[in-house]
Copies of this chain bind each other. A is one copy, B any other.
Amino acid sequence: MTDRSVAQEAKRRQLLDAAVRVFARKGFHTARVGDVAEEAGVSHGLLYHYFESKDELLQAIFVATWTELLESLAAVEDSGEPAREQLRQVAAILLRSWRRQPDVVRVIVQEIGRGGELGSRSADLRAVVDSIERIIRRGQESGELRAGLDARLAATIFYGGIDEFLTSWVFGLVPDGDDAVAAAERTLLDVVCGGLAVGAGAPA
């Protein structure tokens, strides 16, 4: 029975992976359930053994990804590092996810980060910005970061920069090799913490 459960979980995972690839390639709406099944090498009927509906497939992708992500962010927040270092780690986690699982990022960015199908998930989206906001706020309280700025708005900008990099990569608007990802990370920190203005950016 555990054997069966394990096998079942593995199969679910396999179908989910296929769905991620197909949704990334064709988009959720354009992809047919049969496409996902074909990609997974099974009949479309089987999908309905493991998932209630096409929508649940998308939800499941989101949940799996987001749960893992939020745990990583919590670990960063609890690390006790300086605010800037924590922000760097947040950026690293999010930006590098593109290299590790570009298809997942693609689906999330296209179908979920945007209004499309899952408006209900907006609360989860907010959780990421919340985390960044807390880091910034603590940095301000500890005197490490400038106090005059609204932490919520600053967090939004920081997250927006990350999101835009991912979007740019997803749409192929900019190069996206390992170096590019590292450069994006560095520049984001530099800009957001140091500022663009001359005389602003004290060496990090």
Footprint of B on A, CB under 8 Å?
A: 26-27, 29-30, 84, 103, 106-107, 109-110, 112-117, 119, 122, 125-126, 129, 136, 139, 143-146, 148-150, 152-154, 156-157, 159-165, 167-168, 170-174, 183-184, 187-188, 190-202, 204
Contacts and interface: CB of A to CB of B under 8 A. Distances in A.
Contact of A114 (B30, B156, B199): B30
B194 A195 contact: yes
Contacts of A162: 160
Contacts of A150: 183, 187
A192 B192 contact: yes
Of all A-B residue pairs in the complex, the 4 with the closest CB atoms, nearest first, are A195-B195, A160-B164, A157-B161, A29-B29
A149 B144 CA distance: 22
B165 A152 contact: no
A53 to B, nearest CB: 15
A106, A115, A204 pick with most chain B CB within 10 angstroms: A115
Nearest to A102: B115
Given A157-B187, A162-B160, A164-B163, A113 B170 contact: yes
B129 A115 contact: no
29 contacts: A27-B110, A27-B116, A27-B117, A84-B197, A109-B114, A110-B116, A125-B171, A125-B173, A126-B171, A144-B198, A145-B196, A145-B198, A146-B196, A150-B187, A152-B174, A154-B196, A157-B164, A157-B187, A159-B164, A191-B192, A191-B195, A192-B195, A193-B197, A194-B197, A194-B200, A197-B202, A200-B200, A200-B201, A200-B202
A14 B18 CA distance: 37
Contacts of A196: 136, 139, 145-146, 149, 154, 192-195
